[in-house]
Structure 1
Amino acid sequence: MREIQSDASAVARSTTIAAICWILAGIVYLLAEAITASAFPHYSYAMNYISDLGVPDVEMLGDRAIDSPLHMVINMAFVVQGLLFAAASICMVRGSRLPLRVPIIVFALFHALGMVLIAVVNGGQHNNELGLGWVHLLGALFAFLGGHLTAICVGISLLLSRRSSFGRPSRLIGVISVVIGLIGILGIVMLQVDVRAVPRTVLPDGVWERIGMYAIIVWEIGYGALLLSRLRTHTPLSDRSATALN
């Protein structure tokens, strides 16, 4: 009996850590982006790329004037967000019976790697001249698709799972997770298609890119909040007692 209670307590702790990490990851990113953008003269969430905030030099990139005095803030946030996202995914998988546990961890690690790469190798002209522009682009690809596919895999797992911790609402949560992931992928695809294949620009580049990024942020904060809510309302009394005793 004590072993069962101990296992249940460990699962609850692991899930709680996952939820907190996801929520913190989203909040850290949003705050850092807002703070960095506030110090960037004439920064436009619609016209500028997110990575413009992380460029340390004052320069012109295409038709965009770059001047980000707080570039270190957003670059540190990229790393923190990615690592918290990966940590959350690993902790959640340890405390769950989701069918797609391995893909969830793999895609979360790709997301973390991508976030670290775009922080370490910024998208400035200096790195482009050094031939490192592809590293930044690869990091962006990993970060976006890794985050989107993590959300999609979690959603599919909830749809396939017969014993989800969310109970009856799990199918709805699964569908929403998949939809959010697909919306994020659409944003990144349209970031490329809108410029190259559409006669007139449907939305500015910054908007499409932020659809891709904010899909990840919305999902991680929302899913983290749902996990915390589930723990508070559905944890059996015996598990709570075991957690308190530990």
Structure 2
Amino acid sequence: MRIAGILLLLAGVQYVVLEYLAASAWHHPTYSYAVNFISDLGNPVAGDVFEGRAINSPWHVLMDIAFVVQGLLFIAASVLLLGRASGRLARVLLALAVVHGAGVILIGFFHESSAALHNGVLVVHGIAAAAAILAGNIIPLVIGAKGGQLGAPGWLRKASTALGILGLAAFVLLQVDRPLYHAAGGVPERAAVYTILIFEAMAGAALLARARNPVPLPAVHHATERVTP
């Protein structure tokens, strides 16, 4: 449990740090957190123009590493927590975690670029991003609704519900409001992604706190049995 908590904290921290470093390396033009998308940072084509945005990410490797590490750590933490658990709830959460993690990993390998648009690779990037964001925001909603069966504290369940709703709403807004997408798409995109990172940090902190003050295991096992089909 302690290792899983550390992995979740590391996943979010390394993502934000590497994203900042990649963004700080942009020159001519300057990277905008409001206008530019996160995937712009992972675009390996210097001088590329994608959807009207001028791309110049000399440290694109850092952002792609952040994607891959985020996915791997999220999956690893979920397997440690749920890999041996029985019951429908555990299986659903583990499946969602794998979808989220795999989606983020694919983003790190299948980049956004004008070349990717023409050769069809961008389809993989888009599907992976949508899957990662949707699964990543559904997980906190599930924790908010059913997390008590796994021993999640009340504050985490309430905060998770709010984060999941905000993240999904931001994702929908990004898809339906095309003027916003082109003028300041980085805002709703980051709202949809950062909610996942915040959830990771809170879940990691909750796991570390629980490791210091363990919840009696019989109560957790009993709750797990109730959701077994």
Shorter-chain TM-score bucket reads 0.7 to 0.9
Task: Give the letter for the 1:226 counterpart.
Answer: A
User: Is 1:216 aligned to 2:196, yes or no?
Assistant: yes
Provide the rounded CA distance (Å) in 1 between the counterparts of 2:35 and 2:139: 28
2:227 aligns with: none
Displacement of 1:62 in angstroms is 2.3
Contact (CA 8 Å) 1:103, 1:150: kept in 2 or not? Answer: no
Provide the rounded CA distance (Å) in 1 between the counterparts of 2:11 and 2:87: 22
Which residue of 46, 56, 72 corresponds with 2:34? Answer: 46
2:175 aligns with: 192
Provide the rounded CA distance (Å) in 2 between the counterparts of 1:235 and 1:62: 51
Q: Which sections of structure 2, spanning at least 5 residues, go unmatched?
A: 217-229
User: Is 1:113 aligned to 2:102, yes or no?
Assistant: yes
SS at match of 2:177: helix
TM-score (norm 2): 0.86
Task: Give the letter for the 1:141 counterpart.
Answer: A
Displacement of 1:222 in angstroms is 1.1
Contact (CA 8 Å) 1:147, 1:216: kept in 2 or not? Answer: yes
Provide the rounded CA distance (Å) in 1 between the counterparts of 2:144 and 2:215: 22
Contact (CA 8 Å) 1:188, 1:212: kept in 2 or not? Answer: yes
Quote the RMSD (CA, aligned, Å): 2.2
Provide the rounded CA distance (Å) in 2 between the counterparts of 1:32 and 1:126: 25
Displacement of 1:98 in angstroms is 7.8
Provide the rounded CA distance (Å) in 1 between the counterparts of 2:79 and 2:134: 18
Question: Identity over aligned residues, as a percent?
Answer: 36
Which residue of 72, 85, 101 corresponds with 2:90? Answer: 101
Provide the rounded CA distance (Å) in 2 between the counterparts of 1:113 and 1:192: 22
Provide the rounded CA distance (Å) in 2 between the counterparts of 1:226 and 1:122: 34
Contact (CA 8 Å) 2:99, 2:131: kept in 1 or not? Answer: yes
2:121 aligns with: 132
Provide the rounded CA distance (Å) in 1 between the counterparts of 2:45 and 2:79: 36
Q: Which region of structure 1 is more displaced relative to structure 2, 97-106 or 31-40?
A: 97-106
Which residue of 6, 30, 43 corresponds with 2:16? Answer: 30
Task: Give the letter for the 1:209 counterpart.
Answer: E
User: Is 1:183 aligned to 2:169, yes or no?
Assistant: no
Q: Which region of structure 1 is more displaced relative to structure 2, 69-78 or 84-93?
A: 84-93
2:226 aligns with: none
User: Is 1:173 aligned to 2:156, yes or no?
Assistant: yes
Deviations 1:22-62 (A, max 9, x none): 00000110011000000012000000000000001121112
Deviations 1:68-109 (A, max 9, x none): 001011101101001101111121224767861111111110
1:158 aligns with: 147
Contact (CA 8 Å) 1:99, 1:157: kept in 2 or not? Answer: no
Provide the rounded CA distance (Å) in 2 between the counterparts of 1:35 and 1:20: 22
The 1:27–1:133 alpha-carbon spacing in structure 2 relative to 1, beyond 3 Å, is same
Count of aligned positions: 213
Provide the rounded CA distance (Å) in 2 between the counterparts of 1:30 and 1:204: 20
Displacement of 1:112 in angstroms is 1.1
Task: Give the letter for the 2:35 counterpart.
Answer: M
Deviations 1:122-181 (A, max 9, x none): 01011111112111100101110121112222222224x2xx535xxx233212212211
Deviations 1:190-220 (A, max 9, x none): 1112226xxx78x821000000010000000
The 1:98–1:17 alpha-carbon spacing in structure 2 relative to 1, beyond 3 Å, is farther
Q: Which sections of structure 1, spanning at least 5 residues, go unmatched?
A: 1-14, 237-246
Provide the rounded CA distance (Å) in 1 between the counterparts of 2:11 and 2:213: 24
User: Is 1:233 aligned to 2:213, yes or no?
Assistant: yes
Contact (CA 8 Å) 2:22, 2:57: kept in 1 or not? Answer: yes
The 1:97–1:223 alpha-carbon spacing in structure 2 relative to 1, beyond 3 Å, is farther
SS at match of 2:101: helix
